[in-house]
Amino acid sequence: MPERFPVSLQQKIEDRLRYYEDLGIRLFYTDRGPGLVGHEPVASAPSPTHVIEEIALPKPTPKPAPLKPTPVAAYPPLVVAPTGPSLFETMDKVKDDTLLNIREDLGDCTRCKLHKGRNKIVFGDGNPKAQLVFVGEGPGADEDAQGLPFVGRAGKLLTQMIEAMGLQRSDVYICNVVKCRPPENRAPEPEEVAACSPFLMRQIDSIQPKVIVCLGATAAKTILNTTRGISQFRGEWLEWRGHKLMATYHPAYLLRNPPAKADVWKDLQKVMAELGLQLPRKSKS
């Protein structure tokens, strides 16, 4: 210990160093700042009031090796429908498919969110070997309550149209693109159509009708897989998977726009001609 410190201070420093030694602290750095008031800076002697301790810090835990990035699939995983067969499975069954099988496969369907608000699934109704199939958009309130298609006001108009063709409802088959009622009677959303339409396709393939009549834009766009407006092809014969297909206006539209009934009647007369039904005689003027 240098002699330059007063004895009392030396003693204090020694005591303090011993104290630090007892604590296991042996390394000290001299203060590089300004000296204590009244003292010259000392290069080599530790200053008891400015000791900076090198505390034995715990050794840093070695960093874990960086994780290899998990390979990311190029496409999102296939979401499997919670119940029932996939579309490809349904396609395999087409040859021997029956409406009963299709209804069983549909089950108590929860494949899209429309199931949350439905009362009854509206599968379809009519002759399983019909020559003529009508396809609408989706059930309304009356259909949802009864589980039958086209039984409300629009349905009554459709029934009148069928009878005007010289047929009964039991002669034809009637169904919709989606089998549960969309809330507020809105149009079904694309994912709802995508979930439900495989069953419609199976129904058509099972029935094998000669003619399909699409009632409204949703049915026509779904079956034809087109985004074209219905007015661009309404009343024209189209070919779809070996069936003759005609798109016409939905009866609900006719209730709002009665003059369009004349267009629909012209379309239905083309259907009658195709089915070999007797056309109404033209009145002599």
Would you tell me which residues interact with ligand SF4 (CB under 6 A)?
106, 109-112, 114-115, 121, 178-180, 192, 195-196
- Per residue, the 3-state secondary structure of 112-175, as one string, reads CHHHHHCCCCCCCEECCCCCEEEEECCCCHHHHHHCCCCCCHHHHHHHHHHHHCCCCHHHCEEE
CA atoms within 13 A on the CB side of 201: 22
Smaller CB separation from ligand SF4, 193 or 246: 193
Q: How far is the CB of 147 from ligand SF4 (least distance, A)?
A: 12
Residue 269 phi/psi, 5-degree rounding, is -70, -35
Q: How far is the CB of 102 from ligand SF4 (least distance, A)?
A: 11
Q: How far is the CB of 280 from ligand SF4 (least distance, A)?
A: 37
Smaller CB separation from ligand SF4, 118 or 250: 118
Q: How far is the CB of 192 from ligand SF4 (least distance, A)?
A: 6
Nearest to 240 by CA among 263, 214, 218: 214
Cα 222 from Cα 200, distance rounded (Å) = 10
Smaller CB separation from ligand SF4, 106 or 154: 106
Q: How far is the CB of 253 from ligand SF4 (least distance, A)?
A: 22
Smaller CB separation from ligand SF4, 133 or 272: 133
Smaller CB separation from ligand SF4, 10 or 119: 119
Bridge-based pairing of strands 238-240 and 173-176 is unpaired
